[in-house]
Amino acid sequence: MVVETAFTPVTAIIGGAMIGLAALVLMWSVGRIAGISGIVAGAILEAEDERNWRLLFLAGLFVGALIASVITGALDDVSSIASTPVLIMAGLLVGIGTRMGGGCTSGHGVCGISRFSQRSIVATAVFMASGAATVFVIRHLFGEGV
């Protein structure tokens, strides 16, 4: 399903700076990378001492998102753009892919690139390219998306 969206430079920059600040606070305080795929996986699969800070971070994430959404209304019109079978397949791919590749948009895309990590620069280039190629296939070869 193709839903057109407007370019929103101001909120993009403000939100992006907040994400950056979040990564900075986490590194300055406890020396950890704000990679959300790793934090989610660790919050579920790690032993208790490694799990607790991740659960705390995730609790904060929901609280911060809730407050921001109440103030800005940014989540008011948000809905899913894919069917249930596609969401299941996509979720599995994101879960397996981020673990196999060691990170996602936050861990590789923000924290890794800013440390000039070659692995992160390569990973980000690959998932951007495979993402763009996938959208090209589902929207322009198959038609109206999935």
Residues in region 17-76 near another protein by CB under 8 A: 17-34, 36-37, 40-41, 44-45, 53, 56-69, 72, 74-75
Shortest distance (Å) from residue 115 CB to another protein: 6
Whose tokens are 């929103």? That residue is 8
Shortest distance (Å) from residue 143 CB to another protein: 11
Do the Cβ atoms of 40 and 58 come closer than 8 Å? yes
Shortest distance (Å) from residue 48 CB to another protein: 15
Verify binding: residue 142, another protein, rule CB under 8 A: no
- Count Cβ atoms within 10 A of the Cβ of residue 132 and give its class: 0-12 exposed, 13-18 middle, 19 or more buried: exposed
92-98 long-range CB contacts below 8 Å, 24 or more apart? 94/37, 97/127, 98/37, 98/38, 98/41
Q: Build a one-symbol-per-residue string for 103-132: x at contacts with another protein by CB under 8 A, - elsewhere.
A: -xxx-xxxxxxxx-xxx--xxx-xxxxxxx
**Which of 48, 87, 142, 143 is the binder for another protein (CB under 8 A)?**
87
Verify binding: residue 4, another protein, rule CB under 8 A: yes
CA distance 105 to 121: 11
Verify binding: residue 91, another protein, rule CB under 8 A: yes
**Which of 16, 47, 48, 49 is the binder for another protein (CB under 8 A)?**
16
Do the Cβ atoms of 107 and 35 come closer than 8 Å? yes
